[in-house]
Amino acid sequence: MKVFISADMEGIAGKVHWEFSKESDSAEWDRDRQIMSEHVKAAIEGAIEGGASEIVINDSHMSMRNLAIDRFDFEQVEVITGQPKPLCMMEGIDNTYSAAFLIGYHGMSGAHPGVLNHSFCPLSIREIKINGIPVGELGVNAGIAGYFNVPIALVAGDNVMAEEAQARMGDVEVAIIKEALNMTTAKCLPLKAANELIKQKSRSAVQRCKDMKPLVYDTPTELEVDFFMTNMADAAALIPDSQRKGGTKVSYISSDYLELFKTFQAMFMLGEHVRLDLRY
């Protein structure tokens, strides 16, 4: 049995602030990457105990070069690191997997009181909708797994993210490792307890995944992005066959979810480029 793990950082135990890169605060980033790696290791151990024979991990945060791979000394494990990646946070998944795990995930932009809630680009994207329903990274990425008929079997993060996952995917295993009080405050489990919970839920997810259903969106599928600024939408609207839905909104429709996702990825990269190019 093959398991795919997408590992993010904002949802890890103890993480409540935006310093999450080596450049912004090297000491905090190093602490957080160690915790992120411990969570992934716990998920690996639980998956192996549950019967997984092969596990591929995709480092999915920021530079996508965060995980301490020396923690994953298991013969069943491989790690995808670096960027850019065609499938971004879900790079490496295909129809040979039995289950996908989303570790260290967070709530979508605007999901109060979700810790560090955002959707892909916190300074350029206000909201994402698929077929008119607001989604975040969890909803978008679950659609990629669903394209390959792979269920999301486990998510780990705060309680707001867990509620989002259950609303989208029903009977998914959730490891709630912190309770959101507001965007930058949380009541967190100690690391040992958080890892034990992730391990327990991972084991159960592998054992139960055959009864879980992938998230598959109705087709044709429309994805709409609401940017913070009109010039970001100007850039995204340059993509052929995109549709301008208003001053800050651009949408794209496709019957192929991977095409839709890759177009979306181009949209937010263009929008982010325009934001970074601003000079005040």
CA atoms of 184 and 181, how far apart (whole Å):
8
Locate 169 and state its tokens. Answer: 């995917």
Residue at token pair 């992934």:
40
Contacts of 186 (CB under 8 A, 6+ apart): 16, 115, 158, 178, 179, 180
Among 39, 61, 106, 118, the active-site one is: 118
Active site residue 112: no
> Which uninterrupted H or E stretch holds 169?
helix 159-169
Question: Residue 66: how many CA atoms within 13 Å on its side-chain side?
Answer: 33
CA atoms of 71 and 120, how far apart (whole Å):
27
- Cα 212 from chain centre: 19
Residue 108 near residue 128 (C-beta atoms within 8 A): yes
Q: Active-site positions?
A: 118
